[in-house]
Amino acid sequence: MDIEVNDNPQGLAWLEDRVRHEIDLLSHNYGPWVPPATSEHGSPILDVLIVGGGFYGLGLAWGLLRAKVTNIAVIDASSAGQEGPWMTFARMKSLRTAKQLTGIEFGIPSLSARAYWEAKYGQASWAALDRLPRHEWMAYLMWYRDVLDLPVQNDTKVLTIDGDADEVQVTVSRNGTESLLRARRVVLATGLLGSGGKHVPVGLTDALPSDSWAHAADDIDFAALKGAEVAVLGAGASAFDNAMTAAEAGARRAHLFCRREEIPWLSAKKGLENAGFMGHFADFPDLSRWRFIRGIVETPIPPPRHTVEQALKLPNFVLHLGSPWLNMRMDADKVAIETPKGTSVFDFAIFGTGFDMDIGARPELATLAPHVLRWHERFTPPVGEENAMLLNQPYLDRGCGFQEREPGAYPVLPRISLLGAAATLSIGPMFGGLNGVKFVLERVVNETCRGLMMENLEDFYKKFEEGLCAKKPPGAMGSDN
């Protein structure tokens, strides 16, 4: 999209100076406070390792640095600029969240997306803007990372996570070389994919070659679909985005198939997105948390109205309501898709069917998943309010930390936190968008710092005692502080 520049914007160099000034304005003379630690072999131990360098991972890193927890690292499997979904499988032109979103500034106004936009394009441009373009959003995140000099290491994939009562041990691979990272705390800020995987209806693709279909979160070559008949399954925003992308890339026709007879219109979360609900959801009784989240997940998530309107304007976009996919097979070199209304053939099929929430499906979590306390082990829903998928979710503590099924059997678990979709039932509906990020990040930062302080309390007291026994310096009168 073309972006109008007006008002003689100050520029990003000016904004970066402003960021540093505001940080200085709110700084205190407190320094790093977590005592350094090493393993029994003398290897350094990080205070916090953040897995995931997207929106949540970057915000968490800054929140910890603001709290003077400085011995941290962020790793991400993607290359720089490819973290999160924004430059990969997110295919909308602009964010679905309101442009006023905040959450990763931690008290520094000049770190906000609005400050970034106004410095780059001007205040009038911001006022005229409806929603943030997706590519500009990613550019903002990279700027945020750079101006704060966050310690991110890209192209680093987590292979396994294990450990003991004293440390988390994370085996990673980078450029074909494996290494071991040690940390007192690990936070998994790995988004939707990190809580399970891509959801494809069971059995539908069994008879299909892998090059005949894709999930909406896959790397799809839409240019190769020019002139093709493309079928997309799903009624949510991602399904619409993929169908529109195919249509705009020159597909002969992009067909969107929906199981329901009408497009979902009711947003179950809309009335809940306020500071009270988002900020205190984790403190609700289990029954209240269950009823809110069950109501949300069992209510179809509607696509944005403007997305539907844009899709219907495309001459090569075709909407099929009341048309679930019953069977798929190959017909020569075409994909034959059967619905209650008949069978049609297509060149390519895309599943816009969302994500599974099952931490046991993640290979890097295979060692710890069997030890994780689940909701069904702590809570029994009322008759008629059951939901098997939700009951299988981890029962996290108020700081998003895993808890053990059998206390003491796998003591590393409380040192690992999950910032992802599988945390929804415990922490709230924060992870399908950006609206709740402020509240969950503040909570995780506070709880992480609390844990680090409590486990080092004895060390702090020893230093306190030593201070009380200090000898008076010659000529000392009064204290320096």
Question: Residue 469: its pLDDT value, please?
Answer: 83
Given pLDDT bands bounded at 50, 70 and 90, which one contains residue 5? low
pLDDT digits (tens, 9 = 90+) for 137-153: 999 999 999 999 999 99
Q: Where are the beta strands (DSSP E) in 275-427?
A: 317-320, 327-331, 334-339, 342-346, 348-351, 355-357, 416-420
> For residue 46, what is the DSSP state?
E
Q: Which of 123-127, 407-411, 429-433 has the lowest mean pLDDT?
A: 429-433
> Per-domain residue ranges for the chain?
12-196+357-459, 200-264+300-353
Residue with the bigger pLDDT between 103 and 415: it is 415
- Percentage of residues in the chain with pLDDT exceeding 70? 98
Given pLDDT bands bounded at 50, 70 and 90, which one contains residue 132? very high
Average pLDDT over residues 444-470: 92
pLDDT digits (tens, 9 = 90+) for 340-387: 999 999 999 999 999 999 999 999 999 999 999 999 999 999 999 999
Dig out the tokens for 130 from the structure.
């409806």
pLDDT surpasses 70 at 2: no
**3-state SS, residue 14:** helix
Dig out the tokens for 455 from the structure.
């486990």
75, 46 Cβ separation under 8 angstroms: no
Burial class (CB in 10 A: 0-12, 13-18, 19+), 188: buried
Given pLDDT bands bounded at 50, 70 and 90, which one contains residue 4? low
Question: Residue 480: its pLDDT value, please?
Answer: 66
Distances (CA, A) of 397 to 118, 178, 189, 429: 39, 32, 16, 16
Question: Residue 385: its pLDDT value, please?
Answer: 98
Count CA atoms closer than 13 A to 199's CA, side-chain side.
16
Question: Residue 481: its pLDDT value, please?
Answer: 61
Dig out the tokens for 37 from the structure.
């630690």
pLDDT surpasses 70 at 6: no
Distances (CA, A) of 152 to 185, 209, 259: 16, 38, 42
Residues 6+ apart with CB under 8 A from 474: none
User: What's the rounded Cα separation, in Å, for the pair 142 and 80?
Assistant: 8
How many C-beta atoms surround the C-beta of residue 399 within 10 A? 21
The predicted model scores a pTM of 0.94
Average pLDDT value for the chain? 94
User: What's the rounded Cα separation, in Å, for the pair 224 and 250?
Assistant: 9
Distances (CA, A) of 360 to 51, 183, 313, 392, 454: 17, 22, 42, 10, 30
Count CA atoms closer than 13 A to 264's CA, side-chain side.
19
Q: Which residues pair with 328 in a beta bridge?
A: 337
Q: Give backbone dihedrals phi and psi of 254, rounded to 5 degrees, phi first.
A: -115, 115
pLDDT surpasses 80 at 479: no
239, 264 Cβ separation under 8 angstroms: no
pLDDT digits (tens, 9 = 90+) for 14-65: 999 999 999 999 987 789 999 999 988 888 999 999 999 999 999 999 999 9
Count CA atoms closer than 13 A to 349's CA, side-chain side.
28
Question: Residue 269: its pLDDT value, please?
Answer: 81
* Same fold yes or no, 12-196+357-459 and 200-264+300-353: yes
**3-state SS, residue 49:** strand
How many C-beta atoms surround the C-beta of residue 44 within 10 A? 12
Question: Residue 41: its pLDDT value, please?
Answer: 80
Q: Which of 127-131, 272-276, 323-327, 353-357 has the lowest mean pLDDT?
A: 272-276
Query: 12-196+357-459 architecture in CATH?
Result: 3-Layer(bba) Sandwich (3.50)
Average pLDDT over residues 263-289: 90
- Percentage of residues in the chain with pLDDT exceeding 90? 85
Contacts 24+ apart (CB under 8 A), 404-409: 404/371, 404/372, 404/373, 405/371, 405/372, 405/373, 405/374, 405/377, 406/371, 409/371
Instruction: Evaluate the CA torsion angle 77, 82, 83, 87 in order and state its sign.
Output: negative
What's CA 148's distance to the chain center, in Å? 20
At 260, which amino acid appears? R
* Domain 200-264+300-353 CATH (choose: 3.50.50.60, 3.40.50.300, 3.20.20.105, 3.90.79.10): 3.50.50.60
| Residue recorded with tokens 């906000």 | 112
pLDDT surpasses 90 at 432: no
Residues 6+ apart with CB under 8 A from 14: 119
Average pLDDT over residues 326-343: 98
